[in-house]
Amino acid sequence: MSRRSLFAMIGTVAGGAVMLEAMSRLAYAGESGFNGPIELSQDSKGASVLILGAGLAGMCAAYELRKAGYKVQVLEYNDRPGGRNWSLYGGDTYTELGGFKQEVRFDKGLYFNPGPWRLPHHHYAVLHYCKLLNVALEPFIQTNYAAYVHSTKAFGGKPKRYREVQADFDGHVAELLAKSTQQGKLDQAVTREDREVLLEAMREWGALDKNYEYKKGVLASERRGWDSDPGGGLTSMPTPSEPMAMSDLLKSGLWGAISAGQIYEFQQMIFQPVGGMGMIGKAFGRELDGLIHYNAKVIDIHQDDHGVVATFQDAKAGGAPQQAKADWCVCTIPATILGQTPINVGAPMKSAIDALYYDASVKVGLQFKRRFWEQDDAIYGGISFTDQPNAMIGYPSTDYFSSGKGVLLGAYTFGPSAFEFAAMSPEERISKALEYGANIHPQYRTEFETGAAVAWHRVPWTLGCAGHWTEELRDQHYDNLCAIDGRIVLAGEHASRLPAWQEGALLSSLDAIRRLHQRVQAS
């Protein structure tokens, strides 16, 4: 079971507080520790800093250190800034490990985010830099009650609307609690007055009738939707819908998805950059124009008492090794890559690098001839969930009512399913995403045009989605990973308590350069 599935189940069964506690214990949640722009004194003592990697962590370090007076240079493997902050547009090409080359054929203005796609409202650091760099943001729709929840094992494989599952689950639970309250089972827990208020609350929350029952009728249909909606004139009478039986609903497992919007990281408001998540990386790149050396594959990192030397080759052309030198180094290279790169750090940091493994994840973007999810199914943004290997379908939160084409997130999967997808060619991944998606949207079969698929364990410069920490790994290695070793300090989402989030990368970077600056001042 993936962590996301586990947290969703905990949240549904035990409540948000318990879920958040579980997430916090695994360092997977928590409000951002960003308290405003970092303030480094302008006394850099003439020091230079070499930054390895032009993802958000690396570019944040370069931006702030340059502002503080340091001489900064950045080495980046790709021919673009951003790292996992990445959007694929029509005309882009991408070659993954194994030699599979994809030529993205999306129409102009359409895109797909292979990496991060959401910016929670409490991720203050990333929002700060978006504002600072003039990156326009727009709402991202996480929870859409018109989207679908789907199980191949329930209701004949027919998807149910999110609102139906939410209303029926709440209704049945409210009815059970109301019955328990009426029967005096809660006498020791609540007073008589509290019991009366609780019963009224159950009636309102669960759309129960005067007998505290959840059943077909106006109250339930106002939550779960009608068989035929209220109209005008002589056809105005609505037809109530039939709730799912409690036993069928519980056995279906569909309730496991309806807590997604309650998870702390996914609560509205959530934002996205206008034009794709990669707009943040592009904005940072423009700000650091001239400081970033692109297509630089680092093949060796060596430090001594006088400084740090990184040896690199042209990532595309190869050729003779080159060197970059500085007094200090901020290394944001993912641990999966750094573990294969010669680097003379102490045993504690090296052990930490080698111990950290990365989650598997796959995303598939699909372009369709028309926005049938809006036109046929009245779904505007949001996510549909399924028990199939594609896990979810994400609908674009932009260009509503457009008569043109659109790109769906046709698969976003972790764990065993991600490994299965990663073993396929990109064309096979797209084919599978279409096969699974057609069980929810039959329009897939006739409306599909083109697609792109990214399996993160096949991304040459990351070899995985994000650092995967357990409590035991953190206890043993986290502090050693983050400590300054001689003249080298590591930064990135893997060196944070918000792994897999851009906020974690930024906070890690800010903490690293703050400590590095203190070391420079004291040296």
Question: Three-state SS string across 137-181, please?
Answer: EEECCCCCCCCEEECCCCHHHCCEEHHHHHHHHHHHHHHHHHHHH
Domain boundary among 429, 458, 487: 458
User: What's the confidence (pLDDT) of residue 202?
Assistant: 80
Check which CATH number belongs to the domain holding 316 and give it. Answer: 3.50.50.60
CA dihedral angle for residue 43, residue 45, residue 49, residue 54, rounded to 10 degrees: 20
Tokens describing residue 355: 């111990």
> Which pLDDT tens digit goes with each residue over 39-92?
888 788 899 999 999 999 999 999 999 999 999 999 999 999 999 999 999 999
- Once rounded to an integer, what is the mean pLDDT over residues 251-275? 81
pLDDT at residue 152 tops 80: yes
Please check the confidence at residue 249 and state whether its pLDDT lies above 60: yes
Residue 21 counted as domain residue: no
Residues 396 and 343 in one domain: no
Of the pLDDT bands very low, low, confident and very high (cuts 50, 70, 90), residue 24 is: very low
The CATH number covering residue 439 comes to 3.90.660.10
Average pLDDT over residues 434-445: 97
pLDDT for 5? 56
Radius of gyration over alpha carbons of the chain, in Å?
A: 26
Q: Is the domain of 420 the same as that of 336?
A: no
Average pLDDT estimate for 506-521:
95
On the question of pLDDT at 484 being above 50, the answer is yes
Going by pLDDT thresholds of 50, 70 and 90, the confidence category of residue 198 is: confident
| The most confident of 213-227, 228-242, 265-279, 344-358, by mean pLDDT | 344-358
Q: Is residue 30 scored above 70 in pLDDT? A: no
Summarize the confidence of residues 489-516 as an average pLDDT: 95
In a domain, 63, yes or no: yes
454 and 366 in a single domain? The answer is: yes
Domain count for the chain: 3
Report the pLDDT averaged over residues 498-516.
Answer: 95
pLDDT at 18 over 50: no
> 8 in a domain, yes or no?
no
Portion of the chain with pLDDT greater than 90, in percent: 69
Q: How far apart are CA 110 and CA 208, in angstroms?
A: 45
Indicate if the pLDDT at residue 100 is higher than 80.
yes
Confidence of residue 517 (pLDDT cuts 50, 70, 90): very high
Asked whether residue 350 falls in the same domain as residue 366, the answer is no
CATH of the domain at 185: 1.20.1440.240
Same domain, 340 and 483: yes
**pLDDT of res. 227:** 84
Residue 12 resides in a domain: no
If DSSP codes are grouped into helix, strand and coil, which group holds residue 254? helix
Q: Any residues with CB less than 8 A from the CB of 80 and at least 6 apart, and which?
A: 281, 282, 285, 294
Determine contact, residues 398/436, Cβ cutoff 8 Å: no
Q: Is the pLDDT of residue 395 over 90?
A: yes
Let me know whether 338 and 373 are in one domain: no
**365 and 451 housed in the same domain:** yes
Of the listed ranges 32-36, 248-252, 445-449, the one predicted with least confidence: 32-36
In a domain, 191, yes or no: yes
Tell me the pLDDT band of 190, cut-offs 50, 70 and 90. low
Domain match, 140 and 181 both: no
Query: How far is residue 145's CA from residue 225's CA, in Å, rounded to a whole number?
Result: 10
pLDDT at 21 over 90: no
Contact of 475 with 352, CB cutoff 8 Å: no
Q: How much is the pLDDT for 184?
A: 66
92 in the same domain as 168: no
- Which range of residues forms the domain containing residue 240? 162-252
> Could you tell me if residue 4 is inside a domain?
no
Mean of the per-residue pLDDT values of the chain: 90
Q: Is the pLDDT of residue 26 over 90?
A: no
Identify whether residues 190 and 236 lie together within a single domain: yes
Helix (H) or strand (E) holding 367: strand 361-368
Is pLDDT larger for residue 195 or for residue 467?
467
The one-letter amino acid at 57: A
Give domain status of residue 237, yes or no: yes
In terms of domains, do 366 and 438 share one?
yes
Domain final residue pick, 404, 427, 458: 458
The predicted model scores a pTM of 0.86
477 shares its domain with 352:
yes
Q: Which of 458, 479, 500 is the last residue of a domain?
A: 458
Q: Specify the pLDDT at position 267.
A: 77
Taken in order 21, 500, 277, 332, the sign of the CA dihedral is positive
Q: What is the DSSP letter of 339?
A: T
> Residues of the chain with pLDDT > 70: what percent?
92
Minimum mean pLDDT range among 19-33, 420-434, 463-477, 494-508:
19-33
- Residue 6 counted as domain residue: no
Residue 29 has pLDDT above 50, yes or no: no
Which of 302, 502, 272 has the alpha carbon at shortest distance from 510?
502
Q: Give the pLDDT of residue 169.
A: 84
Average pLDDT over residues 134-142: 96
pLDDT in tens, 200-245: 878 887 888 888 888 998 888 888 888 887 877 777 788 888 898 8
- pLDDT value, residue 17: 41
